Amino acid sequence: MTSQESPNWQPITMLPLMASMIDEMLQDAQEQYKNLGEARSKPWVLDDYTVNRVMKVYTEQRDDILGLYEEQLGRWEGLSLTATQRAQVGRVSSQLASLRMALTDILALADELKEGTIERQLAKDDMETLCSQEMLFSNQ
């Protein structure tokens, strides 16, 4: 979205759709965190492209998409809602807060994992080999 475009704010009738989208994003984020967590003990199974892609996608989601959802929920909270709608907006707001935390956790883990990707490991191996060869030649 460009800076000149304004969001297309939705009527409260779109709350169920938005709720299911946020629930699904939270579930996906929790699964992604679990998957990345499995690589923590062996980060070399990941490559730079994958880690950078994770960081790009989840940073955009956290910085761009969540702000729009938060604004939409805030607009709905200002309406005269039924008790059911108000409870649903509250539940979705809570899910959104959990999603924000999950995305922050994913980004922190990805930042940690990027130091051990296969490319980083190979670069270390190459540097160690080069240093060993230089030491061997310097001793002759």
pLDDT digits (tens, 9 = 90+) for 115-135: 998 888 788 755 564 454 454
Confidence label for 137 from pLDDT (cuts 50, 70 and 90):
very low
Measured from the Cβ of residue 8, the count of other Cβ atoms closer than 10 Å reads 8
pTM of the model: 0.81
Domain spans of the chain, in order of start: 14-138
Give the pLDDT confidence score for residue 4 in this predicted structure: 64
Distance between CA atoms of residues 92 and 105, nearest Å = 20
pLDDT digits (tens, 9 = 90+) for 13-22: 999 999 999 9
Burial status of residue 132 (CB atoms within 10 A of its CB: 0-12, 13-18, 19 or more): exposed
Average pLDDT of the chain, as a whole number: 88
Query: What is the reported pLDDT for 121?
Result: 79
Cα 69–chain centre separation: 16
